[in-house]
Chain A
Amino acid sequence: MKLRFENLTKIYGERTVLNIADAETPSGIITGVVGPNGAGKSTLLNIACGLDEPTAGRVLYETANGVFTDRPPMKDMTLLSQKPYLIRTTVEKNIAYPMKLRRFPRETRTGRTEKLMEAIGLTPLAKQKSWKLSGGEAQKTALARAISFRPRVLFLDEPTSGIDNRSTAEIESMLRAECRKNGTTIFIVTHDIAQVRRICDHVIFIAEGRIVEQGKAAQLLDTPREELTRRFVGGELLY
C-alpha cells in the first residue's frame, strides 16, 4: 500500500514537530525511517497508523483498486511500538486476538498462531502468561500478534531497541519473510544503521520534522545526496 503525505503538519503549542510538504512512500517493501532523536519519527508513525491526528494536512492511503483515500484503513494496518502492551493472558491468545477481532474461523486462528510461534521460536511458551516473558519474548509475541491478521501495512517504532541479539535476528527474519510472502508494506523506525542495511530496501531520513531525503537503502546510505544525510549516516551525533 502506497502512502501519500500532503502538507502533513503537527504542532505542539508553538512548536512545529512535523512538517512534510509532499511525499509518497513505496509499497510492498521494507522502508527504514531514520533520523536524530526528536526528529518526529514517532509522530509521523502515530499519525500514519491512525492513532494520532495531524494539526494540518493529511495522509492518503492507496486502496485495493489503486485510488487514494484519506480514511485510515484501521483494519488493515497496525503499529508495533518499542514497549508493546501485551494482553493479560497467554502468548497464544495474544497472537490470536486480532484474528478474533476480525472473526477469522477457529481453524485459521489456531493454524496461523501455531505457524507464527514456530517461525519465531515461541512454541514452548504458547501457554505462558504474558507478564512472565522476557523483553525479547514479549516483543516477539507482539510482532507475531501484529502480523497474525496479515495487515497490508505494518509500522514498527524501534521494535528491537534494548532487545537481545538472538531475538532481534528472529524479529528481522520474520519481517523479511512477512514482506516477501505477503507483500506487506513495512515501515521501521530504527537507530541502528546496520539494521537498516540488513533488512531495509528503502530509507527515509527525517530531521527536524522534515523528510530530508529518501531513496533506495544502498543509495541513501552509501551515496547520500544531502550533506545532513551524509553526516547522519556517517555516524555524526546530530541533534
Chain B
Amino acid sequence: MHEFSVVSALLDLVTEDARKHKATGVTTITVKVGVMSGIEPELFEEAFHVCKRGTVAETAALELIRQPIEISCPCGYQGGIEGFSFRCPKCGETTIRVSDGEDMILQRLELELPD
C-alpha cells in the first residue's frame, strides 16, 4: 500500500503550488496515472480522501486519467502495445522507447484565489 506515500507526495506538490499562487483553496486536482505506474486508482482515491483533510486541498476533487502504454519504434510506429509485451506490434523490435504509461504526473490544478 504505497498509495499513501504517493498521495502525501502529491499533497506536498499541491501545497507548494497553492502557496506559490497565494491560493486559498484547491477545487480540482488532475493526475495522470500510467497503467504501469504501480498505482491502483481505487486505493489512490481512498488514500487521497483520507490524507487531504487539514490541507489546502481539503475540499478538492481528484480527477484520475488512466494512461495506457505508448511506445515509439525505430520503424516509425507510435502507439500502444499488446498486453505486457514490450515490443513493437508492427515489426517486433524490442529496442523501443516507452513514451508514456509508466509514471504518475500532476497535470493540472484548479486553484481558488482570494477575492
Whether A and B are associated in the same complex: the answer reads no
